[in-house]
Homo-oligomer: A and B are copies of this chain.
């Protein structure tokens, strides 16, 4: 642990809430905050989670303030009786709660702007321990609080992730001291190789010690290679990391979607379609609109995505997409023939260069020995009218939403690879 007195700056994070200690909700705030602190060269030495118990919260704040330079507390600032963090901070500071008029004005304004009546219990949210200062909440009613306790600076934010993040970025980050040197985090996002295959390919680059440390993680169907670089300044840290990132991208080739935390499959496809000046439409059965929702998660998607049909019922496949009744009858709704006809149909109907057609068995029921749960057919109708089909078997033990997400990503990746190939030729 980094002790006080030397030049390293250390932080501890405290999360408050019965829903967290009991395991009903997962704490995602602490990991996010630790990553932001790392970017400032501040090392997080511990996370603590305690229940909605005032003396326990007060004690924890005090103990952490003795150990670390910075204590970040999230949660327990709501208006209800189980929200006790402001009272606990006051107790830890041995101070009275006093009304902060500016905060009360802001809360009243918040409700006025939304045409909601302000409940009487929201008034408590404008109470701040004497000697502490309020931090405005631009996205909710609970102002944050900052105070000095022992030798630490304590920041208290709401527990709602969005409110916490915006408050952290706008009001805490600019005030943080910078540690000796910086820790910079980089990420290469990939799709299509398993985590162990990616790790095996990169074995010599995945070092656990030295100035640049790298490892793999998996989330939302993508394998990320995370690179952490330690250096005296951000330029050196970024150059060190950049060299490793370049090697990783070279080695992994078309598995790489891009570099950066905000890289997504939909963004990578958007970029390729925009550059090619081409358009896309989707015809979805088992994914029910998920592919469209992914594609339109990117602002400005209307430049290349014209829309699609969610053809959940067979008659919709027939009447809206023009899938032949005989094809549906002969091969069944989950077949390469139907996915192909869907892709062609939506391409023609929507007048686009590319069309995706997808149909499968998402479960939890409806599987059969010939067409098991997790069987998905994805067709691409390419510019010129050629149709390609891919069959995916996504696991008969997987829950419905996992199968649907994997199917959506696999379909979009098939398109991405075709777009990459078209660019090369």
Known contacts A1-B55, A35-B23, A116-B194: A162-B402 contact under CB 8 Å: yes
Question: A296 touches which one: B45, B46, B121, B289 (CB < 8 A)?
Answer: B289
By beta carbon, the residue of chain B nearest A201 is B119
What is the CA–CA distance of A119 and B206 in the complex, to the nearest angstrom? Answer: 16
Most buried by B among A32, A215, A365: A215
B24, B51, B299, B308: the one contacting A217 at CB < 8 Å is B24
A247 interface residue, CB < 8 Å from B? no
Per DSSP, chain A at the interface is: mixed
CA distance A296 to B320 in the complex (A): 19
Interfacial residues of chain A within 280-297, with CB under 8 A of chain B in the complex: 282, 284, 286-293, 295-297
- Which of these, B24, B139, B311, contacts A35 with CB under 8 Å? B24
A259 interface hit (Cβ, 8 Å): no
A228 with B22: CB separation less than 8 A? yes
Stretch of A78-86, A379-387, A417-425 lying at the B interface: A78-86
A208-B52, A289-B291 as given contacts; A216 in contact with B78, CB under 8 Å: yes
Bound-state Cα–Cα, A48 to B311, Å: 47
A226 interface residue (CB < 8 Å to B): yes
Complex CA–CA separation, A306 to B48 (angstroms): 48
Q: How large is the interface on A (under 10, 10 to 19, 20 to 34, 35 or more residues)?
A: 35 or more
Tell me the chain A residues, 1-53 only, with Cβ under 8 Å from chain B: 1, 17-28, 30-36, 38, 43-53
With contacts A1-B56, A21-B47, A208-B81 taken as known, whether A313 is within 8 angstroms of B307 at the C-beta atoms is yes
- Residues of A73-95 whose CB lies within 8 A of B: 78-82
Report how far A286 CA is from B305 CA in the complex, Å: 12
**Does A302 belong to the interface (CB within 8 Å)?**
yes
Task: Determine whether A233 belongs to the interface, using a CB cutoff of 8 Å to chain B.
Answer: no
User: Quick check: is A389 within 8 A (CB to CB) of the other chain?
Assistant: no
Name the residue of chain B whose CB is nearest to the CB of A365. Answer: B299
Q: Using A18-B215, A31-B23, A200-B121 as known contacts, say yes or no to A401 and B297 having CB atoms under 8 A apart.
A: yes
- Some 12 contacts from A to B, beta carbons below 8 A apart, are A1-B55, A1-B56, A23-B32, A25-B219, A46-B49, A78-B216, A121-B200, A287-B293, A300-B365, A305-B312, A309-B310, A315-B351
Task: A20-B31, A23-B38, A287-B293 given; name 7 further pairs at CB < 8 Å.
Answer: A24-B35, A24-B261, A119-B197, A121-B200, A141-B196, A296-B310, A307-B311
User: Which 9 pairs of residues, A with B, have the shortest CB-CB distance?
Assistant: A289-B292, A288-B296, A289-B289, A23-B34, A23-B31, A23-B35, A47-B49, A307-B312, A82-B215
